[in-house]
Amino acid sequence: MRNTNTFFSSSPSRRLLLLLLPILVLFAAQSSSSSLPSTNKVIIPLNNWSSQRVISQAIGNVLQAQKYSVEYRNINSQDQWGAMVRGLVHFQIEVWEPSMDEETRSFISKKRILDLGSHSASAIEEWWYPDFVAKLCPGLPDWRALNKCAGLFSDTGSKKGKYYTGPWNFRDPELIRSLKLDFILVRLEDDQSIWRHLHRAMQSRSPIIMLNWSPNWTDARIAGEFIHFPPYHPSCETDPSWGINPNKTFDCGNKQNAWIKTFAWPKLEQQLPCVFQFIKQIDLSNEMIAEAAALVDYDGYSEEKAVDLWLQKYSSQLQHWSKNSCISHQ
């Protein structure tokens, strides 16, 4: 019978194996770890509206100047939360309450993502029109004027007007039904599609009703007005008897003075503590967000150029946030 322990019973061979074993283990560890992301790599999501993209890349530039490796990931606002839970993106600097509160609430309650607090900026997201429209539809901005001139907002001769919105999760279909508005919803793929419709309407002086938000580039570049729907109340979402339509919910407008927050991957503080400190320091104003959008959507700069201009304009704020974190002391 062959002795299967011949190799290990040989004293010189055993000694050679023992000498090589630490080297083999080290090599195996290095090989397995080479496929893992670098510990200083920061992954930043880029959504489909300009202010978020410009400010996120500006923050990325600051981190790169501090020797961090930065990767940008184009992702829509719905998919980013699952990605954040898994650490596939690390933070979202511009989270808006009217369109994102509902989908983030369960992630926060289960501590699957972190709420890093509100910016000084406050938000409104609502139906909006440029100011020249008011002369064509007397009674605006009161929502009850909409049905009296709904046909003005049709480009097909229909009695029903068109309301242009984006891919985000608002309750506009429910609002239209609850308030019995003579409008159809036209859902566009991103903010740039909305602005193209607005620019065409401005050039031809054609009436338009569309989704807009503040802070945004229109704050400083185009005068306009949000529609005054019945004021928001939490009961509007759950209790049909609360509002003016006793049979339906969502018979009110969106929340006014809503929060804009930063959310983060729960392990960010552990994995990238100085990045975590820096991100937590960032406090955006309405002006800062509006300017980031205006540089692209009205002034026509590329995102790359807009990032440079935004960094120049707000360099003192960025320096202040950096100094109050450890990214500038590493």
Q: Which residues neighbour 109 within 8 Å (Cβ) at sequence distance 6 or greater?
A: none
Say if residue 228 is in the same domain as residue 193: yes
Pairing of strands 224-226, 69-74: unpaired
Domain match, 118 and 138 both: no
Residue 272 belongs to domain spanning: 41-122+259-329
Q: Could you tell me if 141 and 115 lie in one domain?
A: no
Strands (E) located in the chain: 41-46, 69-74, 91-96, 114-130, 161-165, 183-187, 209-214, 224-226, 258-264
The DSSP annotation for 17-54 comes to: HHHHHHHHHHHHHHHHHTTSPPTTEEEEEE-SSHHHHH
Helix (H, G, I), strand (E, B) or coil at 74: strand
User: Tell me, what amino acid is at 151?
Assistant: G
Q: Is-above-0.85 flag for pTM?
A: no
Closest CA to 258 of 277, 286, 280, 238: 286
Within 10 Å of residue 10's Cβ, how many Cβ atoms?
Answer: 12
Pair 149, 204 in one domain: yes
Question: 234 and 130 share a domain?
Answer: yes
Residues 180, 77: one domain? no
Q: What is the pLDDT along the chain (330 residues), one digit of tens a residue?
A: 333 343 334 444 444 334 444 433 333 333 333 333 357 899 999 999 999 999 999 999 999 999 999 999 999 988 999 999 999 999 999 999 988 998 899 899 999 999 999 999 999 999 999 999 999 999 999 999 999 999 999 988 899 999 999 998 789 999 999 999 999 999 999 999 999 999 999 999 999 999 999 999 999 899 999 999 999 999 999 999 999 999 999 999 999 999 999 999 999 999 999 999 999 999 999 999 999 999 999 999 999 999 999 999 999 999 999 998 998 776
Q: How many domains does the chain fold into? A: 2
14 in a structural domain: no
Secondary structure (DSSP) of 206-264: ---EEEEEESSTHHHHS-EEE-BPSPP-THHHH-TTTSS-TT-S--S-PPSSEEEEEEE
